Structure 1
Amino acid sequence: MNAVELDSVIHRYGKVKALDGLSLTVRQGEMFGFLGRNGAGKTTTLKMLMGLLRPDSGRITVLGRSVKRIPAKLKQRIGYVCQEPNFYPWMTADQLGAFVGSFYPTWDAPEFQRLLRILDVPRDRRASEMSGGTRTKLGLALALAPRPELLLLDEPTAGLDPVARREFNDQLQVLQREQGTTVMFSSHLVGEVEQLAQRVGIVQSGACRFEGEVSDLRRQVRRIVADAGVAPGEGFTQLRGDIWQADPALWEQSAWPPGVVVASLSLEDIFLAFARTDSVSA
């Protein structure tokens, strides 16, 4: 069973399409990295999967259930950390844990306390007194404590220092390894995505331009280095400048003139080739 499937999903903000026929699949038990520029549709997608936004058309399947709205019982199986977590400002971490835990039949109070210790979140400090990074770590602890089947993370490490970011990512890997949790996360830190994700999706102007394993993407997209411009034949798509995309077999079968070098690229270089052609809506 796939954990998430989106097929031809369209969502509009007024007259502007935030998603325009987005289709992608997140497999059960995998860590899926979601890449795209600001405004490309990542946050909109994650909010729809949490039931915070509704699609205008298309099909969404979450944990085997085709949905238009996300019912409460399904939400209990999903953990979610948004870009800027908001909590009742007067509540401490312990109080928030007791409050949030009351909504989840699978809430694990000892696990929540363990996560607070590991992530260095003070138990007795009010949320209003916490830094942005500490609130993000608290949000992760609250999302992980119910031991969700699906974890949705929207730029979760953006405000964290390098030590906290490593602790955060370590916990994700432990969760996936020990519990088989499916993780779908967006990030601007492409190196982080390359390190953590088994598969990635690159969304551009609300549509998915690539979905698959990082190794497959790197075999498809390469740079052609030559003193003079070289235009490959049929089957090659120019992404930007000297960066082209084609089936891996076509790269291997093609004969290149003397002096032409076909170079491999990092995930960051490939993402930038996609992203810099993006038409970003507000």
Structure 2
Amino acid sequence: MSVIAPRALPASIDETLEMLGRADYVADRSLATVLFLSLRMKRPLFLEGEAGVGKTEIAKVLAASLGRRLIRLQCYEGLDVSSAVYEWNYAAQMIEIRMDEATGAADRDMMERNVFSEKYLIRRPVLEALGGAAGAAPVFLIDELDRTDEAFEAFLLEILSDYQVTVPELGTIRAEEPPIVVITTNRTREIHDALKRRCLYHWVDYPDAARELEIVARKVPDANRRLSREIVHFVQRLREMDLFKVPGVAESIDWASALTELDKIALDPETVSDTLGVLLKYQDDIARLGEGEGARILKEVKAELAEAE
């Protein structure tokens, strides 16, 4: 998706739905409502749900649709301030110090001002997100917050309270306009209530069959219509099973793309068995479907679709 010139925020829930639809994101009205309110109230949007249901894509679509820069902070265990906010370019600072010493410019205060200047400041995602101009604040995606620890979560709470960061050598850097913040979590751990209270909350669930079929049709337009219907209903049935990791919408799209590359126009037991690695990511789940369960589900799906026609 190409980034366009900054655009005005949607003026209604219907405009928000249309904006998402133009970017091929098929959203229900409840998501459009909370997204509209988040933009109007300038509150962070907290998106929770299983992996692969389209949480991250919402931020990407929002940035492209509004013509804003997308800044992504990918969270992980051990994420610290230097990786998330800023750090100094120590190698360049040392070169500057050596050059000053070599030329005789060894005034200590002057050297300190030189090396601790914007020139040597490396801006990480948090500081970048605070640097947007009025009317063009970026979309700041804090992705998979549940992967970090509680200490970083507390630090993030402070940032979202005032939208400012203090760099001891430079002073306090404030956002001219707060960024549009989207926080995602896969719920591998609970996020503290204090941070959630700062945000508007939405649970992103798996779509129903009709909406998922529309998603697949938009994302894989070359896929045969019959094939897409069988894929969606097959995946919907898998989500009712006790699998280690049920497939998300992303896997449905990948499976439709893969089968289209194989010139398939319908599912058959052999094709299902051969391509399960596109759909499922754990061997125990693949083994379970490979022991005749996949063929049985496919037979039931085809019977249901034939009866519905």
Is the pair's TM-score, using the shorter chain for normalization, greater than 0.5? no
Q: TM-score, normalised by structure 2?
A: 0.36
Name the one with the larger helix percent.
Answer: 2
Name the one with the larger strand percent.
Answer: 1
Report which structure shows greater RCO (CA 8 Å, sep ≥6): 1
Higher-Rg member (1/2): 2
